[in-house]
DNA sequence: ATAGGGCTTCCAGCAAGGGGAAGGTCAAGG
DNA sequence: CCTTGACCTTCCCCTTGCTGGAAGCCCTAT
């Protein structure tokens, strides 16, 4: 199976697959002509990484998960620890974005948004009620 | 005012201020000794960018906001349009992270997290209920 | 033989800076 | 006067996770 077909199968672009090989995340065999050659187990791994990435795991975390995926004797607690850490990160990001949304939402709500220059958003970003001094 | 003092005043690291100058976001005058020299208006602009960045605006957006900040005759609607676009982005990101949190939360909730190898998280990432085949 | 696709490699670059080297400057202390 | 140390300058490389492109090889079809 060439890289193009593998890409179709796992949902990752060929460039990304080569990149993952480049950084040592996944390896691939080579056919006689020098082309990368993928088997079904390779596709499983690629898909595993694709799903992990889409769930927000970094490439470094995917590397860990992949080794846990391969090691059939690891404790499920090892996997759960990584996932819970990631859950915490997601929660923190949501909280941060929510706070951001509130602040920006206030600014937007108070801006009349017409063709007059007076703008509470700019004033808010300026940190005072005046905007830039005029001269 | 040297860059270090300016950095203290606006809450941005010196490196970042130099970077902003490098990409043409902000300019600074030079003292006789070649050091960058900042006045109060420069500090206002730097602080403006710092607050904009901390509210999630990209550097490109800061560039727009900065020109709107400077232009005392622009319509507040121009500013509001950018802010509302950003608000939409924030909402989309929150929604995406929330969905992610639900999915990953389900996986974590179903993983017993003990020292047995059976792990619903790995199974979920594998896209089937088996994990990698053993042979 | 030739056209076209797909494959290979390497090189450059995006956001948004951070780290650190090599060297110029300035103010204080002995 | 000299040194020390903090600060400033420019420079380039590193990061994360890819993406695009150029040059060139391989394979298939006609």
pLDDT digits (tens, 9 = 90+) for B15-70: 999 999 999 999 999 999 999 999 999 999 999 999 999 999 999 999 999 999 99
Cα nearest neighbour of B127 on chain A: A48
Residues of A within 8 A of B75 (CB-CB) are: 114-117
B100 contacts A55? CB cut-off 8 A: yes
> Any alpha helices (H) in A1-135, and if so which ranges?
3-10, 14-22, 40-54, 59-70, 76-110, 120-126
B46 is written with which tokens?
């730097």
Query: Cβ(B103)–Cβ(A82) under 8 Å?
Result: no
CA distance B17 to B106: 44
A16-47 pLDDT per residue, tens: 999 999 999 999 999 999 999 999 999 999 99
Indicate if CB(B11) is under 7 A from strand C.
no
Question: What's the whole-number mean pLDDT along residues A43-71?
Answer: 94
Query: Cβ(A48)–Cβ(B72) under 8 Å?
Result: no
Q: Please tell me the predicted confidence (pLDDT) of residue B135.
A: 31
Q: Chain B closest CA to A23's CA: distance in Å?
A: 21
Indicate if CB(B15) is under 7 A from strand C.
yes
Half-sphere exposure of B89 (CA within 13 A, CB side): 13
DSSP code of B114? S
Number of other residues whose CB lies within 10 A of the CB of residue B46: 23
Query: Cβ(A104)–Cβ(B56) under 8 Å?
Result: yes
Question: What's the whole-number mean pLDDT along residues A35-63?
Answer: 95
Cα nearest neighbour of B116 on chain A: A75
């Amino acid at each position: 199976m060439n890289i193009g077909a593998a890409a179709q199968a796992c949902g990752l672009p060929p460039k990304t697959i080569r990149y993952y090989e480049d950084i040592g995340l996944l390896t691939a065999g080579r056919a006689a002509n020098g082309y990368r050659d993928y088997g079904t187990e390779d596709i499983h791994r690629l898909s595993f990484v694709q799903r992990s990435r889409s769930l927000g795991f970094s490439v470094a975390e995917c590397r860990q998960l992949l080794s846990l995926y391969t090691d059939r004797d690891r404790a499920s607690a090892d996997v759960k620890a990584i996932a819970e850490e990631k859950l915490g990160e997601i929660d923190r990001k949501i909280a941060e974005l929510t706070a951001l949304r509130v602040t920006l939402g206030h600014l937007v709500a108070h801006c009349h948004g017409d063709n007059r220059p007076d703008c509470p958003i700019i004033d808010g970003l300026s940190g005072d009620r005046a905007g830039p001094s005029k001269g």
